[in-house]
A and B are shown apart, each in its own frame.
Chain A
Amino acid sequence: MTRRIAILNVLLGTAVTVACAQQIPINAAGATFPYPMYSKWFDEYHKKFPMVPINYASIGSGGGIAQVTAGTVDFGASDGPMTDMQMMEFQNKRGSAILHFPTVLGAVVPTYNIPGVTASLNFTGEALAGIFLGKITKWDDPELTKANPGVKLPSSNIVVVHRSDGSGTTYVWADYLSKMSKEWETKVGKATSVNWPVGLGGKGNEGVSGSIQQTANSIGYVELIYAVQNKMSYGKVKNAAGEFVQASLASVTAAAAGMKDMPEDFRVSITNAPGKGVYPISSFTWLLIPSKIANPAKKKAIKDFLAWMLADGQKLTEALSYAPLPKTVVAKEVKAIDKIQ
């Protein structure tokens, strides 16, 4: 009996192996922030090129950085650009440089679950910092009621939800809060993993959204598409020009438009960008690709994918509420693909 099962399984495994023999499986891991976009892209790309299944695991930007540095995946993804120290560690461990390739623009929104409140609340940067520092503990705190005159906020305790895993979304959020609050900057700082003063931890953007759905009077931060796809309420944030702006294709694109010059290595922060109609918690997200790829088939596949992503891929972003890359950035990136040896 067991023998028959064993033989069956071996045959099955062999069959699948033979069928997939011509394939070039590529493994990647990283950010949950752009995951809905990437899963769509990789699926469309696989339909066009069935020989190249790109298997992406959404484990968080921290995971993407760690795994690409350890060499267990072919490329990583992160919304928090790698620090100089992390890039040096990659150089030491893998013997080549790591390249950042921006893919889309997204927004991190404050999403909440307050029974009875369906309106889109206004949040100032200071208020958000206060909530996540644990200084503002109730929904009817003056800081919040001040910005939301027409809304009846309950006097319940605010339940903060943050990421339990290393996250680029956390990086973007913390980056923004560091710019808005000196106390945040000194006490907590900005990184993919921070020492949260308060709150419950959720795994991935998925886990945080799930947590917020389950917990009354909670607030957390997620990428825009997660709030939209799951019909969760999310707030407007006050930008540098003093307006309360809701995250959208237009407001996120405006954030990138205000950017002066894209650095050569594509690492840039666009939170709290100046200008009208700008959504202040916007960010690029990057693919982390080693500059030297040994396997020629994989190298070609990855380079081809990048070229596709910068052309056809960009057309698919809007359906998922991600903003496409500015044309200047695309042009620069196309040239940068040659850096992959």
Chain B
Amino acid sequence: MLSFRRKAVNAIMLSLTGVCTILAVGTLLFILGYLFFHGGTSLTINFFTKLPTPVGEAGGGMANALLGSAKLLLLASCIGIPIGFLGGVYLAEFGGSSFSFVVRYTTDLLNGVPSIVIGIFAYTLIVLPQGHFSTLSGGLALGVMMIPIAIRSSEDFLRAVPVSLREGAMALGASKAKTILTVVIPAAKAGLLTGIMLNLARVAGETAPLIFTAFGNRYWSPGWEQPTAALPVMIYTYAISPYPDWKQQAWSAGFVLLMLVLTVNIFARMILTKRGSTAR
């Protein structure tokens, strides 16, 4: 019935897919393990509480970078998530065909703009007119980066809600807005939240746009108008340096950053399973 050739092809190709998976997962486990061993095992309390010390002296930390990154991400979410989410709602719920095409295409475009060019954009738009580097410009750069990802994921997850749910609501007499608010969005909530989480995680590690917007700071950065240290930028600066202490801190910072991102991701998952999502 089933020719040997077909059986063989079946077996071989399916095994190959298994190999691909092993390679992919293996790489990840290797990275996690390596980061844990090089960064996690030598994490000290100094890292979280101390400011950077002069070059070549041990005992410094990244307390200011941790706070700086938190502030930047807060600002970025305030800008990126509302615009992105509502734009996604438009595309999924209201869009006509030609305007939506333009919006989607532009979103892809903006998504493809390298983070460094967004950095230039923020530099020419905010840093130069203001005359100084600031947390504000850094946050704005990251916010602009969050928008296309937010639109795309919002639209995808909203679209994934079955048409039957919408039709049911409308049949009960709900207006379109009400349907969206009370039926579609809650149905897609899990996916939308995971989208936001992943968005934040992606942007948390961005370095290039911060190089000439947030700029960096060896001290605490008060308010929003001063340059600020950020975790990924510190990692970059320390990683390419020759100092063993700095390289060690770079590994530690990488580990901390990854752990933070991991926590956000796990939290997102918890939301997914708790609400009993439609996603598998």
Contact = CB atoms under 8 A, between A and B. Distances in A.
A213 interface: yes
Contacts of B133: 27, 72-73
A126 interface: no
A25 B226 contact: yes
Interface in B221-243: 221-224, 226-227, 237, 239-243
Interface stretch (B25-33, B104-112, B141-149, B210-218): B210-218
Q: Is the interface of B mostly helix, strand, loop or mixed?
A: loop
A57 B56 contact: no
Contacts of A53: 218-220
A303 interface: no
Interface in B66-84: 67, 70-71, 74, 77-78
B72 to A, nearest CB: 10
Contact of A6 (B55, B74, B221): B74
A232 interface: yes
Give the residue among A16, A46, A55, A209 with the most B Cβ atoms within 10 A. A55
B71 A9 contact: yes
Contacts of B227: 27, 55, 57
A19 interface: yes
A70 B124 CA distance: 11
B222 A25 contact: yes
Interface stretch (A176-184, A199-207, A305-313): A199-207
Contacts of A46: 219
A320 B56 CA distance: 10
Contact of B218 (A12, A13, A55, A71): A55
A53 B219 CA distance: 7
Contacts of A9: 70-71, 74
A229 B246 CA distance: 12
Contacts of A58: 237
B131 A210 contact: no
Nearest to B218: A55
Nearest to B132: A72
B240 A207 contact: yes
A17 interface: yes
B184 interface: no
A27 B132 contact: yes
B94 to A, nearest CB: 25
Contacts of A152: none
Contacts of A211: 240
B222 A5 contact: no
A195 interface: no
B41 to A, nearest CB: 22
B128 interface: yes
Given A36-B56, A232-B242, A57 B216 contact: yes
A203 B242 contact: no
Q: Is the interface of A mostly helix, strand, loop or mixed?
A: helix
B224 A13 contact: yes
A74 B240 CA distance: 27
A217 B169 CA distance: 72
Nearest to B246: A206
Q: Sort chain B's interface into a size bin.
A: 35 or more
Interface stretch (A37-45, A84-92, A243-251, A333-341): A37-45
A241 interface: no
Contacts of A42: 54, 218
Interface string A189-229: 00000000000001110110111010000000000011001
A183 to B, nearest CB: 31
A12 B53 contact: no
B71 A13 contact: yes
Give the residue among A27, A72, A225 with the most B Cβ atoms within 10 A. A72
A70 B128 contact: yes
A194 B220 CA distance: 36
B243 A229 contact: yes
A21 interface: yes
Contacts of B128: 70, 72
A20 interface: yes
A317 B74 CA distance: 41
A71 B224 contact: no
A2 B217 CA distance: 27
Nearest to A66: B212
Contact of B74 (A5, A72, A207, A229): A5
A9 B72 CA distance: 10
B13 to A, nearest CB: 40
A75 to B, nearest CB: 13
Nearest to B237: A206
Interface string B157-175: 0000000000000000000
Contacts of A230: 242-244
Contacts of B53: 43
A23 interface: yes
B275 to A, nearest CB: 14
The 8 closest A-B pairs by CB, nearest first: A20-B222, A209-B242, A206-B241, A36-B55, A53-B219, A39-B54, A230-B242, A40-B54
23 contacts: A12-B67, A12-B70, A20-B220, A25-B222, A27-B226, A36-B56, A39-B54, A40-B57, A42-B54, A46-B219, A53-B220, A55-B217, A55-B219, A57-B227, A203-B240, A206-B241, A206-B242, A206-B243, A209-B241, A225-B56, A226-B242, A232-B242, A320-B56
Given A20-B223, A202-B240, A210-B239, 5 more contacts: A5-B74, A19-B222, A27-B226, A57-B216, A207-B240
